[in-house]
Structure formats: structure tokens, C-alpha cells
């Protein structure tokens, strides 16, 4: 098949105050006006989402939450719900980012509850999976990534491949400046696609977007994105600078 339509996400993590987020969104809106072949998603901190949506509402740039709770509402101080994110203008939700798993102790079971809630409410999950350096060095990459994909998707009924994005984000590459090589990324993405085919079916698996994340920057975007099974990127550090983020999107437009 032809290359799938790429999806480029910018994960702002816990950066940008509301006024900084508004400035960044204004810059993206202007710089990305002619982007046609790539889906662009920005993932601001929850407190910035409404003001970013206000700026981007007449653009094609979509918005994602960075995390959410699986309950509809309740006494969960500090959490946000799917309904809150949807009402604020989110179409996507990052689930199981390595910082949630490794800094905040999020388990596969919790990731799965969030994925199921996203499907139930119509948010499109960007399900993040990836191995640590120790897991890679001890030959356990496939065990870990396979387990995370299967556990994250348990009980999901997928009717359209557009409802789901998977991000392969090796933990050792996130925020370190050391990206996976194009060969390592392609190998992991092929493996993930095989697992997705097993969980759903091979025609859905063929169409699902699998992003790569981990120290993507303008200098390495082309070599990563040109791989057959790399369908975009989830970008942290380099998405904070609208100039760098847009350079990567313009590289993606070529594929």
C-alpha cells in the first residue's frame, strides 16, 4: 500500500503558561496554513487547552489532552475527564505516555481503562508504548512493547483505523537527544503492526498510524519518517519551538 497519511503531534508536556501557549498557537496557525497532507495535533497542558482551541478553531490543527481519568466525574482532585477534554475542543488524548508510566506509576490496567473511556466517549487515543534501555539491552523490547499494546487495547472494538493512533516511544530516546535509528524504529513499528493485526485484523492493522517518538528534531525527521511503517511523529522538546515543529511538519508533507 501507499504510505499512510502522516500524523505529527506536538506534546508540550508541562511547558507553556496560558499566554505562552496562545503565542505558540498563533505562530503555528500562521506557519501551517498551507499544510495539506499531514494531520497536525498539538497537546497543550490542560489549563491551556481552551485558549489554544480559541486560536486554532478555524485551522486544521487538532488538539489532544496529555492525560485523563477514566471516570466520568467524581472526587478525583487534580484530574480531568474525557468529557471535559471534549468540551474544551480535544479530538485526541495521549494515553500511557512514558512519563505517566515511569514518573507517576501508571499501570497497563489503568492505561487500558483510559483507552476504553476514550473509545466510549469518541476521543481518539494516542496510545504510547516503549521499552526502557535495560529492557532493550536485555533483549526484552518485544515482550514489553507487545504486552503494552495488548494490555492497552484489551476489550477495544475498533470499527475504523482512524479511531486509534499508536506511538512507539522508546523510553531511552525521550528527551535524551538520542533517537532510535531508522532501522530500530522500523523494526519496532513492524512488530507493533503485527500485534495490532493479531488483536484486530490485518486490514485494520495496515491502516493504523504508528508514530515514532523520542528526540525527533528537524535534523533527523526525514530519515525516520521515510520508513514505510513510520506514520508520523510524537514530538516533545522540538515541538516547544514553533519554528522547529513546523520544519518537521514541512518535512512530513513530502511523504
Does 96 sit near ligand PEP (CB under 6 A)?
A: no
Q: What are the grid coordinates assigned to 74, written together?
A: 467524581
Does 236 sit near ligand PEP (CB under 6 A)?
A: yes
Of 14-22, 30-38, 72-80, 167-175: span binding ligand PEP (CB under 6 A) = 167-175
Does 21 sit near ligand PEP (CB under 6 A)?
A: no
Min CB(48)–ligand PEP separation in Å: 16
Nearest to 169 by CA among 190, 185, 146: 185
Does 216 sit near ligand PEP (CB under 6 A)?
A: yes
Q: Give the catalytic positions in this structure.
A: 97, 169
Does 237 sit near ligand PEP (CB under 6 A)?
A: yes
Place of cell 522547529: 244
Of 113-121, 188-196, 201-209, 210-218: span binding ligand PEP (CB under 6 A) = 210-218
25 neighbors 52 (Cβ within 8 angstroms): yes
Instruction: Please give the DSSP secondary-structure letter assigned to residue 157.
Output: -
Min CB(40)–ligand PEP separation in Å: 15
Does 11 sit near ligand PEP (CB under 6 A)?
A: yes
Answer for which of 67, 88, 148, 215 binds ligand PEP (CB under 6 A) is 215
Does 234 sit near ligand PEP (CB under 6 A)?
A: yes
Q: What are the grid coordinates assigned to 162, written together?
A: 482512524
Min CB(103)–ligand PEP separation in Å: 12
Nearest to 5 by CA among 40, 29, 33: 40
Which residues on adjacent β-strands are paired with residue 65?
A: 93
Of 26-34, 77-85, 183-191, 211-219: span binding ligand PEP (CB under 6 A) = 211-219
235: part of which helix (H) or strand (E)? strand 232-235
Of 75-83, 107-115, 168-176, 185-193: span binding ligand PEP (CB under 6 A) = 168-176
Listed in sequence order, the residues at least 6 apart from 209 whose beta carbon sits closer than 8 Å to its beta carbon are 4, 5, 6, 7, 161, 165, 166, 231, 232
C-alpha–C-alpha distance, residues 30 and 27, integer Å: 5
**Nearer residue to ligand PEP within complex by CB, 245 or 255:** 245
| Cβ density class 210-242: b for 16+ within 10 Å, e for less | bbbbbbbbbebbeebbebebbbbbbbbbbbbeb
Nearest residue to the partner ligand PEP, using Cβ: 236
Listed in sequence order, the residues at least 6 apart from 190 whose beta carbon sits closer than 8 Å to its beta carbon are 229
Binding site for ligand PEP (CB under 6 A): 11, 13, 169, 174-175, 213-216, 234-238
Amino acid at each position: 500500500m501507499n504510505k499512510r497519511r502522516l500524523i505529527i503531534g506536538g506534546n508540550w508536556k508541562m511547558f507553556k503558561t496560558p499566554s505562552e501557549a496562545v503565542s505558540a498557537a498563533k505562530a503555528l496557525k500562521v506557519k501551517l496554513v498551507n499544510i495539506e497532507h499531514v494531520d497536525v495535533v498539538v497537546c497543550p497542558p490542560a489549563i491551556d487547552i481552551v485558549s489554544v482551541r480559541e486560536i486554532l478553531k478555524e485551522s486544521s490543527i487538532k488538539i489532544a489532552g496529555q492525560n485523563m481519568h477514566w471516570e466520568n466525574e467524581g472526587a478525583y482532585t487534580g484530574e480531568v475527564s474525557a468529557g471535559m477534554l471534549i468540551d474544551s475542543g480535544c479530538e485526541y488524548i495521549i494515553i500511557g505516555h512514558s512519563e505517566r508510566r515511569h514518573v507517576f506509576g501508571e499501570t497497563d490496567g489503568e492505561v487500558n481503562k483510559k483507552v476504553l473511556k476514550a473509545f466510549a466517549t469518541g476521543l481518539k487515543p494516542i496510545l504510547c508504548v516503549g521499552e526502557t534501555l535495560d529492557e532493550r539491552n536485555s533483549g526484552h523490547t518485544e515482550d514489553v512493547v507487545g504486552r503494552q499494546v495488548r494490555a492497552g487495547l484489551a476489550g477495544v472494538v475498533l470499527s475504523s483505523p482512524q479511531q486509534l493512533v499508536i506511538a512507539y516511544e522508546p523510553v531511552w530516546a525521550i528527551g535524551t537527544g538520542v533517537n532510535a535509528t531508522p532501522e530500530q524504529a522500523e523494526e519496532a513499528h513492524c512488530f507493533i503492526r503485527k500485534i495490532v493485526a493479531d488483536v484486530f485484523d490485518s486490514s485494520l492493522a495496515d491502516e493504523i498510524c504508528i508514530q515514532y517518538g523520542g528526540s525527533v528534531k528537524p535534523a533527523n525527521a526525514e530519515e525516520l519518517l521515510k520508513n514505510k511503517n513510520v506514520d508520523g511523529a510524537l514530538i516533545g522538546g522540538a515541538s516547544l519551538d514553533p519554528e522547529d515543529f513546523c520544519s518537521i511538519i514541512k518535512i512530513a508533507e513530502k511523504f
